[in-house]
Amino acid sequence: MTVTAIIGSQWGDEGKGKVVDYLAESADYVARFNGGNNAGHTVINQYGTFKIHLVPSGIFAPQAVALIGGGVVIDPEVLIDEIRTITRSGLEVEGRLWVSPRAHIIMPYHKILDGLYEAAKGAGATGTTRRGIGPVFADKVSYNGIRWSDFAREKVLLERLKTQVELKNKIIVALGGERLDFDQILETYLAHYETLMPFIRELFPIVQDGLRQGKNFLLEQAMGTFLDTDWGTYPFVTASTTIPSAASAGLGIPPRFLTDVVAVTKAYTTRVGAGPMPTEIHDTESEVYRRFAETAVTTGRIRRVGWLDLELVRTAVALSGVTQICLTKLDVLTGLREIQVCIGYRLDGREVHYTDLDSYGLGEVEPVYQQLAGWDEDVSRAESFEALPQAARDYVKLVEHAAGAAVKWISVGPERSATITR
Ligand code: IMP
């Protein structure tokens, strides 16, 4: 049996979707345990190119059962849309995807409040994806949430939803927004529930059966380590626990069953939204900026970019007990004459670590760089570690030495096949 958590060791967008799609070939269960449709995963395989936000990326492995745990918050429209898209691509989803009735539901007022709070914070805004994530998790832990299980009890649903819409309307109006109509929300969401009913099922017996039978589980984290509410760059974080411990509560898997933690690490750093980023490159005209620039899958925003920050990766490895690293996007570095890698931080002349600092302190550190030689050879068709140019191999070795975990896989292109296993 293996229970493998796949986590991002940076600020998300490390390429977890591709890695999960690759590793799902040997999985019996693929599962999401945290976050919501603020996540965006790009998966390219024989069925097509998919940008998915809620359904586990491992759904494309036809033998795998896909689970969306109670730790995930769900925007029903997004989920319905994804189920339809995947079904249209030729894959059977019904009977193979199960959604926990414990999952909380993103309501229209959550999305509106997300936008209003961001606007009210002005320059101090988090730069959220505006998908309602902060407000729905706030409702969850303040006992104001609505779950799928509520839809199975009409009286409970009517009472609870009515209270929430009235309460939220007061806040929305006070912040300059427009009142929402209860009847319209109810009608729309009852229709969503009707559509999703065949997928909603308590996961406990499914997970317990799998564990008892020694099956292989692949648990997909959404976002990245440094967006974690507790260990990330608070307040510039997301509203859920992103480290592997969340997989336990979010899916009902006891912590001692976790066998592997794979950190997906991009060969450089990106960040979407506000918050400190020590290795950020500000020169938008530079060759390296243009090379690293990417567009976020969920919001279409241009990601902030920077050199690889190994102080972050090292912290993520220790924090989550990472057993292997998958280094992604190595091919993007091809053609750079020199490559900088941040191997630590200094503040006021002293060496400091990520965990010594709060978010504002992290914004003041000076990265310590090690300079490495680049390479010109195309690496995108390399099939083994030995086939990579010496400079690329040195880069990989520096990552594993500084991070403290072995690089087991190297991704050299977006397709499933462009993956080197060591
Ligand atoms: P929220 O999760 O939409 O509330 O946004 C909070 C912060 O997390 C913002 O900086 C977002 O840009 C960031 N964020 C949320 N989801 C992702 C993701 O999947 N990739 C990268 N950044 C994300």
Ligand 1 contact, 127 CB (< 6 A): yes
362 CB contacts (<8 Å, ≥6 apart)? 233, 276, 278, 345, 354
pLDDT in tens, 278-310: 999 999 889 899 889 877 667 777 889 999 999
Ligand 1 contact, 244 CB (< 6 A): no
> Which residue minimizes the CA distance to atom 1 of ligand 1?
128
Mean pLDDT of 10-20: 92
Active site residue 41: yes
Ligand 1 contact, 131 CB (< 6 A): yes
- Whole-number Å distance, alpha carbon 373 to ligand 1 midpoint, is 33
pLDDT in tens, 268-281: 999 999 999 999 99
pLDDT in tens, 377-422: 999 999 999 999 999 999 999 999 999 999 999 999 988 889 999 9
Q: Which band of pLDDT confidence, cut at 50, 70 and 90, is reported for residue 327? A: very high
> Which residue minimizes the CA distance to atom 10 of ligand 1?
273
Mean pLDDT of 204-213: 98
- Whole-number Å distance, alpha carbon 366 to ligand 1 midpoint, is 25
Active site residue 13: yes
DSSP 289-318: HHHH--B-TTT-PBPEEE-EEHHHHHHHHH
Provide the pLDDT for residue 192: 98
Ligand 1 contact, 223 CB (< 6 A): yes
Strand, coil or helix: what is 269? Answer: strand
> Which residue minimizes the CA distance to atom 23 of ligand 1?
223
Ligand 1 contact, 129 CB (< 6 A): yes
DSSP 130-193: SSSHHHHHHHHHTT---BHHHHT-HHHHHHHHHHHHHHHHHHHHHTT-PPPPHHHHHHHHHHHH
Output the pTM of the full model.
0.94
pLDDT in tens, 210-239: 999 999 999 999 999 999 999 999 999 999
> Which residue minimizes the CA distance to atom 5 of ligand 1?
128
> Which two structure tokens, joined as six digits, stand for 273?
């939204």
Q: What is the DSSP letter of 71?
A: T
Provide the pLDDT for residue 297: 67
* Catalytic residue selected from 21, 41, 139, 331: 41
User: In angstroms, what CA-CA distances link 398 with 191, 310, 411?
Assistant: 53, 9, 16
- Biggest alpha carbon distance in the chain? 67
Ligand 1 contact, 250 CB (< 6 A): no
> Which residue minimizes the CA distance to atom 9 of ligand 1?
128
Provide the pLDDT for residue 314: 98
